[in-house]
Structure 1
Amino acid sequence: MNDPHPWAVGLDSLRDQVWQRLRRGVADRHDPARHPVLATVTPGGMPQARTVVLRGADPAAGVLEVHTDLMSGKVADLRANPLVALHVWDAGAHLQTRIEARAAILTGDAVAQVWARVPDPSRQSYGSQPPPGTPIDDALAYAKRPDAACFAVLRLTVLAIDAVHLGPQHRRARYTRETGWQGQWLAP
């Protein structure tokens, strides 16, 4: 049976396809990789998952970037435990990508040039009052007050990638930074 996605047949081509799709997610607001699910663990040990916007993907460095409000719960989670998981489902490619990473929280001068490129409508997401997750009396009892001091970049250093292609013949592979991204087939 011919696989409609020949890139899924080889370890190297599958890995390259994952990174190509991540890069496409940064550039194309309609691409499935644009809005991955980011999972953290609260200081109390509860898992948390939320949709984020992928803002950077550098395959050579093995790094992804996401923007966030410094006052958001995910930042508190990451200060307690910097390990995260990222999940992307691409229905058209029948490809699930799960990524394990270590997050660094960048703020202030380290992100000033990035903040300068954030369009005004998007700046509304950084600096709302009260801070994200604060209980409020009414659904609209908050104010959008763009504030560069509340802007943060989460730099995710990828540690491992688990890719599952659900084609006519299911295939699964794992890639790790420690092996130089050399793939290993896994039972799907």
Structure 2
Amino acid sequence: MKQPLTIHLTTVQHDIGEAALFEQMSQTSHIDFVRLAQSAQEQQETEERFEMYVRGEAEVKNGTFVLRYMETELTGMAGTETTISFDVHNRDCVTLLRSGEVKTALTFLKGQRSISTYDTPQIPFSLCVYTMHMKNDLQLTGGSLVLEYLVEIRGAFAQHNRLVLQITPVREDEAEVFPASDEKKVSDRSDEMDVSEKI
């Protein structure tokens, strides 16, 4: 049975310049990446914050927790469905899939990197994600997912991202959809989102 949800999504992003995520990981330790992220956070002028509320649904099917929601114009990915899933017996490995106008598949596992293709209507990009921290207590009854990671598009600068996704079951007496005022974006550059800001 699918559980209707209210999803509160918050991200904080910092530009970090070149991170060389596509290079061999044996050359860069987890501690080095942590220091790189900490240095970026000290540069407050590069900080970008984003906050959004949307409706979604979740279910547990064949031992896999699956959360789905539609992106909105606020993320620059309207018409795209995002699916977050993980094995209920292995919460430390989370998969994020996007399908529709934007297509990508990413795996988040602490201390590991994931290389994928990010397809947009304009052009595909190669990107690499390195997961620094994860806390996952998502359940059908509610909970949250915290991801801290570095993301780099090949040939471009990298970012340090912190994503917090909180879910709450929808009550039967709640409205079917949010009024427009319940979806919001908090950003210093609301009209200049690049590809890395949509990941």
Tell me the TM-score range normalised by the shorter chain: under 0.3
TM-score (norm 1): 0.25
Rg larger for: 1
Instruction: Name the structure where strand makes up a greater proportion of residues.
Output: 2
